Structure 1
Amino acid sequence: MQANERFRRSKIKCIHQGEPPCQNCLRNGRTTEGDCILSVPDIVRTKRRRTSEHAHVPIGGDEQSRNESIDADCESCALNGVSITNHVSRSSDIWAATSRTDILQAASTFCRKFPELSFLHLGTFDFDSGDGTILLLKAALMALSCTSDQQNEYVAYVKTGISGMLLEPPMLETVQTLLVLAMLEWGHGRGYSAWMTTGTAIRMIQSFETMKGPTKLSELNQEIYNRTFWSCFIMDRLVFCGKSQPFTLPLEQMCIHLPLGDQDFAFGQPSIPRIFVNDDRESIHNGIDYSYSILVRGFDIWARILKWVINGGRRQAGMTKPVNCPWAPGSPWRNLFDDLNRWRQMQQPRMRYPDVRAAGHVSLRQGEQFTFINLIYYVSILFLGREYIPFLPTPDSVPKGPVDPPLLEAMAPEGWWAERAYQLFNAAGQITSLIEELEALGSPLVTPFTGFCVFSAATMNAYVSSFPRMNHGNSQGFAEELLEINIQWLSSFKKVWPMGNGWFKTIVHTRSLYTKASRDRQRFQGKTRADFEALEASIHDSSGVSPLQEDDAPAAGSEGHNPNQTTGHEAEAALGLQQLSHPPTIPQPLMSPLDEMVPDELSIFNNQWNHVWPLWGEQQSGLTAAGCFQFDYDFASGYQHL
């Protein structure tokens, strides 16, 4: 009888005039603000206001049809709104504890520390708005700049609110919120979720008729829109993780102008005519004021390099033929290398590290833009150079190109391999030095892309530390020091961004492999990259998902797990390395954060690396359940369904 009563009451329609409280709540005395589910703050049921002319550029539909959806019948507030009411309570707590100063600081930090998403205009952003879309964007910005517990609250708020807007006419702030959320997902090792969230943002921005460009916006709002579009473009390059699918926004099909200079954006008035991609005047965008325009083209080149490498690189069909050798004009490698160098030469001399140090740009609050431009260049050089070196050389090896199949069918010009080796290991050193310089200047840059660059530098610093002759001894004496700087930095990074856990574990195995291979030639004789495919794939992985996650992660739903606590497996592994490397009677202190997690040395020699570790494409999306539903890995609680 009681159940039947609940069932009947659940069929009561929620009658209201578009504002809380509804009639049912009035009859039951629920008149306090927040008691009625219509009081959910500007997420699904509150009417939206046009706060600026760039807030709405819908394709189809009108204001009346959007307002009619607000007045649609809803279920009983009293019985069916429990979860929403709880969300209202949490949301009220969030904003009660969030001051205007907090939001201002979060927005300012976002503008400085995430130059790849340079769409926020602080001069016109409505920090006091209670509009639903603005609240979601503010919550997403807050999530980037707060502790983990607070971050979870803001992220939950954003995800709950954004779910009610995905199928509605698009709003620019919604696109921007999705981009910030995608950055958070990527940084937390949820590459699949970041990719899907970015894709949603791209579909929304495409529905604004971006290819024709908005025609009824002011100069400033047109640039805000324009930079939001290019932010989608860059995120498309960051989170695709080298998969074989085409880019969602191909540069050659873009009919939208490049970003204006930062000063023009700040004041809302262009000082030069707008320039489109592949315009003959494109080279005037060559100084720090046009950093975002430079980044747009740089990220496109970087993504094409990563995609070529992940899709097989030199092992692709036909790459061994003389016409496709890397030094041959018109070869795939040479085309990428030439594009990268043209982009580099287009930049003003003041943009090029280490000829110009970071201090000057940091003093002008432009250190992050300067850093990103140089990171793109050096990590691109690193990936291009790494493709043609032996994965596991001998201690006597010198630069001479691939030593394992497929071998090149032509000889390189004199000195070509030595030059590539110098550029490769110099790039790893410059990445390390630049990040260390920012730390010393009190302007650290701890973001997902920065983490990937440091991780990539660490792999090559570990390589040349064990095989110094691969750079003709030019790195000897300081490569190990650079590696320790990388290790310390990644140790701190993974406490901020969980994606760093995967990179940290990969560096553990990489350093251990190179160290043992350089000391025990007989045991590793004849080993090639084919024996370590999964490890090599992990080295290329820009998502940060560790292939070791299944070995040492707690089971889903396990209680009492401390992600910062060393597991029994890790402790045994560290002890095993000490016993193999030193006499058991001489205790050895841990020398770096890596030593807390050194793997069992026997795993290097029993050829299990390919069997224990999934291949790169599998580790991106985690497990695949029946029906092909994808799962993402959560470092705190194991595998979770999306």
Structure 2
Amino acid sequence: MQEKQISCVYFHHPELLFLKIPKIDQLLHPGVKEALFLLSCKYTGAEIDSIALSQLEAKVLELANSKSDYLSCLQLSLILILIFWQLGSTRKAWFIEGIASRISYYLVKNKEMAAISGTTEKEVFTRAIWSHRFLSNSLKDKSGVSLHAQLQDFQLPLEDIDMLFESGSKSPVTLKTLSVDVQSNIYSLLIFSGELWLESSFWILQGGRRTYLKVPWDEESEWNMLTKKISSFNDNLGPRETLSDSNILGYASLGLGSCYCLMHLFLSMAKLMLHRDYIPFIPSRSSVPSGPLDPPKICDSAPYLWWRNSARVVFDSARSIATILHSLKAEDYCCNPFYGFSAFTAAGMLSYLHYFPNYDPEFCDSKVYYDYCLDYLSSYADKWEIGKSYHKWALEISTIYKFACRKSNRLTVSEVQSLRDKYIDMSTISDPIESSDLLNIQQLIHSNDQSTELPQDSFATKSQSLFSLEYAESSSSLDFDYWSSLPSMNMFGTSPL
């Protein structure tokens, strides 16, 4: 039963790399096993015991204070973070994450792995550290920068076959020494792609194009260097590691399907977020792909077709995300925060294209791919509170696009300010608000004296949206100006209060 629970949790949460080790149940602390049972409850239809959850929360403090088993404390913390995030108990999640970050930093800095004997035991330690890296929110903290520097020389996970045959004596691979073109270790590739996503997120969180003022086609711009790193990684993947339906099925048969898909979600999201920063949140109805409408505006010196090609990267990335999610449907949807964050983000861009098809006229079936994302979010919503919020936000953002694409629609500055401040607030991404507290988007839209109403269909429903948006009113038609910078979040897209 424990093996089944562990297998279930790993499928839904491939970021917990240490669970993929054979006979891991024999190496786990009893408290960690109990936490895995609670996390698996949502996938088996059972309810999570709130008393047992509180006891495990106390167990984290007990293990941290005892200083005798920091590794078990770290493993337990990671599982509880995932439970609390997805239940919407963000305050508890971030409190425990603070403990996990300090333990992880201590273990790496003091080279605690050197005192561990046995290939399997060392691998458990290594994978636990990298598992925490996936869930760390320290994108702006000094401690996060320090840990990032320490991990550049930290050993990456071994391939399963090397661990099983205890052939871990060969030179360890690190982020600095990893060669993508000769690497087939899916765990190492997953971690490297996660680092690319983290670097892209950091660029966004630092202000994106409002902080890094060089034009994106400048060879020396931070944006250009980041996109080249992502393209180089993607282009150098071997035939078994590139994204395809057959590879998804192949890795799924090895029990690594969700791990392989997470790697490509990291890559797709990194590309989407970087290119999307230069797309107007909502363009004027007659526009073709162009730069942002809000300051700082980009001069008209872009290379021929640059804006069109950049927009195409955004929508192709969204399609890749939707395809990955749809491919996993036969196995069962993998429900974790980053999958949900990716589905919501892709759904937003696919509905953008549905209502403004001139941004990529050659793209077909944007509504079909949007529905793939919505189907996934509906499944996630059946299991976790955060899934319900993602599902609502995806519907909400499409309602805004539908309203914006109608020629007669205008919003006043005060209404836009109300929409931004009271309704579309990313600080609630992992702390869902009760429906009774939500602002009714339909009332807000109709408050500007429009005589016509929005058609009621799958794209028009009230809910809560994700991004903090800033708008400006155009003199001729509705122009919602830009994607604003995201507030502090971690690699899995969840944000502290």
Bin of the TM-score, shorter chain as denominator length: 0.7 to 0.9
Q: Which residue of 2 aligns with 1:224?
A: 124
Cα distance in structure 2, aligned partners of 1:536 and 1:271: 55
Q: Does residue 595 of the first structure (1) align with residue 438 of the second (2)?
A: no
Distance verdict in 2 for CA 1:125–1:433, change over 3 Å = closer
Q: Which residue of 2 aligns with 1:283?
A: 180
| Contact 1:448–1:497 (Cα < 8 Å) also in 2 | no
Distance verdict in 2 for CA 1:550–1:403, change over 3 Å = same
Moved more, 483-492 or 428-437: 483-492
| Contact 2:325–2:373 (Cα < 8 Å) also in 1 | no
Q: Which residue of 2 aligns with 1:71?
A: none
| Contact 1:378–1:431 (Cα < 8 Å) also in 2 | yes
Q: Which residue of 2 aligns with 1:482?
A: 369
User: Pick from 253, 259, 270: which aligns with 2:168?
Assistant: 270
The residue matched to 2:63 in structure 1 has which SS? Answer: coil
Moved more, 264-273 or 404-413: 264-273
TM-score, normalised by the number of residues in structure 2: 0.82
C-alpha deviation, 1:425, in angstroms = 0.3
Q: Deviations over 1:239-263 (max 9, x none)?
A: 45x6576625543333321111132
The residue matched to 1:353 in structure 2 has which SS? Answer: coil
User: Pick from 73, 95, 118: which aligns with 2:17?
Assistant: 118
Cα distance in structure 2, aligned partners of 1:408 and 1:543: 31
Distance verdict in 2 for CA 1:517–1:271, change over 3 Å = same
C-alpha deviation, 1:291, in angstroms = 1.5
The residue matched to 2:410 in structure 1 has which SS? Answer: helix
Letter in 2 for 1:227: R
Q: Does residue 506 of the first structure (1) align with residue 405 of the second (2)?
A: no
Cα distance in structure 2, aligned partners of 1:460 and 1:395: 16
Distance verdict in 2 for CA 1:598–1:443, change over 3 Å = closer
Moved more, 399-408 or 450-459: 399-408
The residue matched to 1:187 in structure 2 has which SS? Answer: helix
Q: Which residue of 1 aligns with 2:263?
A: 373
> Which runs of 5 or more residues in structure 2 are unaligned?
474-479, 491-495
Q: Deviations over 1:470-526 (max 9, x none)?
A: 11x1235x1122222322321221221211233233323311111111113552699
Letter in 2 for 1:595: T
Q: Which residue of 1 aligns with 2:50?
A: 152
Q: Which residue of 2 aligns with 1:438?
A: 328
| Contact 2:88–2:431 (Cα < 8 Å) also in 1 | yes
Distance verdict in 2 for CA 1:252–1:537, change over 3 Å = farther
C-alpha deviation, 1:534, in angstroms = 5.4
Q: Which residue of 2 aligns with 1:182?
A: 81
The residue matched to 1:395 in structure 2 has which SS? Answer: coil
C-alpha deviation, 1:342, in angstroms = 2.4
Cα distance in structure 1, aligned partners of 2:22 and 2:435: 49
> Which runs of 5 or more residues in structure 1 are unaligned?
1-100, 554-566, 583-587, 621-631, 634-642
Letter in 2 for 1:502: S
Q: Which residue of 1 aligns with 2:148?
A: 251
Q: Deviations over 1:522-578 (max 9, x none)?
A: 526999999975599747x794445xx37724xxxxxxxxxxxxx9x869869989x
Cα distance in structure 1, aligned partners of 2:489 and 2:320: 30
Distance verdict in 2 for CA 1:126–1:491, change over 3 Å = closer
Q: Which residue of 1 aligns with 2:346?
A: 457
Q: Which residue of 2 aligns with 1:137?
A: 32
The residue matched to 2:179 in structure 1 has which SS? Answer: helix
Cα distance in structure 2, aligned partners of 1:330 and 1:457: 29
Q: Tell me how many residue pairs correspond in the alignment.
A: 471
Letter in 2 for 1:466: Y
Cα distance in structure 2, aligned partners of 1:436 and 1:204: 37
TM-score, normalised by the number of residues in structure 1: 0.65
Cα distance in structure 1, aligned partners of 2:224 and 2:309: 14
> How does 1:238-637 map onto structure 2 within 5 Å?
239-240=137-138, 247=144, 250-254=147-151, 255-270=153-168, 272-279=170-177, 282-283=179-180, 286-287=183-184, 290-316=185-211, 319-320=212-213, 324-354=214-244, 356-409=246-299, 411-439=301-329, 441-471=330-360, 473-476=361-364, 478-521=365-408, 523=410, 538=425, 543-545=429-431, 549=433, 552-553=436-437, 580-581=452-453, 591-592=457-458, 595=461, 597=463
Distance verdict in 2 for CA 1:346–1:249, change over 3 Å = farther
Letter in 1 for 2:264: N
CA-based RMSD: 3.9
Letter in 1 for 2:204: V
Cα distance in structure 2, aligned partners of 1:126 and 1:272: 27
Q: Which residue of 2 aligns with 1:23?
A: none
Letter in 2 for 1:581: E
Distance verdict in 2 for CA 1:400–1:515, change over 3 Å = same
The residue matched to 1:208 in structure 2 has which SS? Answer: helix
| Contact 2:81–2:93 (Cα < 8 Å) also in 1 | yes
Cα distance in structure 1, aligned partners of 2:441 and 2:287: 34
Q: Which has the higher relative contact order, 1 or 2, with Cα contacts under 8 A spaced 6 or more apart?
A: 2
Larger Rg: 1
| Contact 1:170–1:204 (Cα < 8 Å) also in 2 | no
Letter in 2 for 1:519: R
Q: Could you tell me the percent identity over the aligned residues? A: 23
| Contact 1:108–1:122 (Cα < 8 Å) also in 2 | no
Q: Deviations over 1:352-382 (max 9, x none)?
A: 2247552222223221122011111111111
Cα distance in structure 1, aligned partners of 2:283 and 2:301: 19
Letter in 1 for 2:149: E
Cα distance in structure 2, aligned partners of 1:510 and 1:309: 20
Letter in 2 for 1:260: L
Q: Deviations over 1:358-411 (max 9, x none)?
A: 222222322112201111111111101110001120121111211221112461
The residue matched to 2:202 in structure 1 has which SS? Answer: helix
Moved more, 330-339 or 201-210: 201-210
Letter in 2 for 1:452: F
Letter in 1 for 2:210: R
